[in-house]
Structure formats: C-alpha cells, structure tokens
Amino acid sequence: MRPRRALTLRGTGALLAGLGCLVAANLVAAPVLIHVGILLLALTCFSVLSVRLPRRSGTVARQISTDLLTVSETSRVAVRLDLRSLRTPRGLWRDVLPDAVSGDASGEFPPPDGRLSYPITGVRRGVWQIGPLVLRTVDPFGLAQREQAFGDTRTVTVVPEVFALMPLSVRVGAAGGTAHTSSSRLGQGADNLSPRRYVPGDSMRRIHWRASAHRGQLMVRQEEEESSPDALVVLDRSADRWRTPDGEADPAFETAVSLCASAAVHLMHEGYGVDVIDSAGTLLGTLRGHEDDRETMLVALASVAPRGTSRDLAALVAGNPPGPLVYVTGALDEAAAERLRPSGAAVPLLFATGPGEGVTATVEPHGWHLARLGDDVAEAWERALPERGGAPDAAR
C-alpha cells in the first residue's frame, strides 16, 4: 500500500502559487504579492500541521458472516474501529482488499449509522489477508491530507465453488450406495433383517416374533453386515498436466478443483464415504457424512496448486477397488492415458481439460467413462455418467 502525499492537489497548487508570488514580487516590485505569497505558504503549513499533529491510535475487529467464502459467493464484513483521539476526525475509510476478493470496502467516517460494513465476493480461491483499515482525513481547506492504518489484518479463506450434480443411476454395493451401511440393529424391532432358526444359546432379545409366528417356530434376527465400497476422488495436479502462469491462476486448473470438490460432496450426499487425494497420494479430505469433513476438505482444496509428479493409479488405490472412482486431470496424451487403469473400480469416471487425439479410444477398453472438462462442471459430469454413454461423448 503506497502512502499518499502530505499535500492534496489543491495544497500542491497553493504551495506553488505562494512560491510563485514571492518570486514575482521581486521581479515586478509588487509588495502585495509578498503578502499573498506568505499567506498561501502559512496556510499550507497550518493545514499540514492540523492533520499531522493530532495523535490517534485504535484497534480494529472484523467479523465475516460466513466462515468460508466460496468463489462467486457474497458475504458481509462488519468492522469495528475503536479509535482513541482527542476528537473524532472526519474523513474517508477504506479496508485494503486483495485482488482475490472484490467489494466496495470504503465510506465516510464516522458512518451515518455508526457501523462500518461492506459486502465482499470471492473471486479466486486461496487464503488471503483483509486489511489494514485506512483512515484518510483532510483539513478544512482541502490542502493537506493524512492516511493512517489501524489494526491488524484478517484472514479470509476462499474455497472452490461446489456445483449441484446429477445423481449416479448405477448403485454400487449391496447397500445401494450407502457406504459401510450396517444393519446390525438387533433388539430394535427391525423387520427388514433376515431371520434364521433359533439355536440354543441365542439371546431371547433377538427373537423375531413376527417371523416366528409366520413360520410356526422360533426365529431370531440375523446380524447382517451390508457395505458398499467407498468412493475415491483423485485430483491430478502434477505440473506437466497444467499451465503454470506466473502470478495468475490457470482457469482449467480452477475448474478441475471445483469439479473435485463438487464430486466429493455429491458422492457424500449419495451415501458414500469419500476419500479425496491428489495424484501423489496426499490425502486432501475424508468425507463421512459430517459437515466438518466437508469444510476441512474445502479448506485443503483452497490452497492446492500444480506441482510434482503423479504416481501410478493402482498404487493409489492400494488394492482396494473403490465403488465410484473420479479422476480429474488436465492435458492428457495417449501415452499417459494408457497408464491410467481404474483398478477394478465399479464406476470409473475420467475428466480431462485437454484430452489429446486418441485418448478416448485408449481409455474406453479399460472401462473409463471419459468427458472433456470445460467451463461447465455440471455439464461435464452429466456427459460422463454411464447411463449417458460418457466415453463416446467425450470427443466433442
């Protein structure tokens, strides 16, 4: 943040005019110009002292209406400035915002309603700093100005946008899409459990009275362990898959991160336990139906960037074939596509922002449902769904 000059444009003009009057007075022998010049210089000095001498200090507290700010989401920041000064100055305030956050963070001070607040909108994911709060005051003549920063900065986390996706029509596992669903609700009157014949030693609390009456002999509830495979979402962020412009975000990578978050949240809502990892095997999030899991994953995805190299997908799966497998990558050529094997996943979905020629024909025999990932995350997901015939559609 560059500090403003001590003099305003008007003050600079008054200073130059005063000096010019003194010079002109000597040239044209006009004493009146000396008085005008001295008056302008004295007025300028007085204005500078009137805004610079008062001692001011204060603390700033900010409260954001949402804990996490999503890209394109609008939130509101409430600012409390406890200013210690002999008198309340009048001027303009502004909160310093990063380029990744947009908003009109400025206004008159003191505010008419006594509150400082402004809306902000997430533009680019990441962890950013808001602040400090800057108070600008000007003397009554508008000749001198002072800018003073108050308080510390406040961190705001901008997380990727999560889109609503179409449900998977293919149900994986015996539980029909409910991860690790167990039906061992014994002694609770669960009639949907499979009964078996009573044998000596069974607890009387496990007797299934309705089935016993129907079959004419004692039946007990049989403990069933129904489970379906967990889902796995892999974000390929190896450096050779993405452009890495200096100081700028790669739009394709930003879309990929958004799809990664959207797919993980969507599969969690469908009942799957979801693990989110990157192509090096680093765990980015684990979703087991809790809202805290979702926020933890989004915070982790807020700061990911292309780096390193990718490991073999079979090593990432580690011998435990998932149900749905979502693999999100960038530029994908035929050689790299040949090395991608779904490792027994029930529903393997492959998304690439730049699939090369021949990639579709390469991944189809391995069972992948491929879709090109463009700007529309929901549309790419819909094209990749097995019932839509994702692989033939990917060449568009």
- What pLDDT digit, counting tens, does each position of 150-183 carry? 988 999 999 999 999 999 865 554 334 444 433 3
Tokens read off for 87: 């008198």
Same domain, 368 and 273: yes
Residue where a domain terminates, one of 197, 225, 253: 225
Report how many domains make up the chain.
4
Same domain, 247 and 383: yes
Same domain, 79 and 207: no
Report the candidate in 118, 116, 78 with the shortest Cα–Cα distance to residue 101: 118
Report the candidate in 347, 325, 330, 309 with the shortest Cα–Cα distance to residue 251: 330
Residue 174 lies in a domain: no
β-strand pairing of 283-287 with 274-278? antiparallel
With vertex at residue 40, the alpha carbon angle to CA 34 and CA 45, rounded to the nearest 5 degrees, is 125
Same domain, 369 and 387: yes
Residue 177 lies in a domain: no
Residue 175 lies in a domain: no
Residue 75 lies in a domain: yes
Same domain, 199 and 238: no
Mean pLDDT of 116-129: 94
User: Per-residue confidence at 246, pLDDT binned at 50, 70, 90?
Assistant: low
Same domain, 285 and 368: yes
Residue 164: how many CA atoms within 13 Å on its side-chain side? Answer: 0
Mean pLDDT of 109-129: 91
| DSSP calls for 95-159 | E---TTEE---EEEES-TTS-EEEEEEE-S-EEEEE--EEEEEE-TTSSBEEEEEES--EEEEEE
Same domain, 110 and 203: no
Q: According to the model, what pLDDT value does residue 147 have?
A: 92
Same domain, 155 and 219: no
Same domain, 144 and 220: no
Residue 166 lies in a domain: no
Range of the domain at 80: 57-159
CATH of the domain at 368: 3.40.50.410
Same domain, 324 and 290: yes
Same domain, 241 and 289: yes
Residue with more model confidence, 96 or 386: 96
Same domain, 235 and 374: yes
- What pLDDT digit, counting tens, does each position of 62-118 carry? 999 988 999 999 999 999 999 998 888 889 999 999 999 999 999 999 888 778 999
Contact 253, 303 (CB under 8 A): no
CATH of the domain at 109: 2.60.40.10
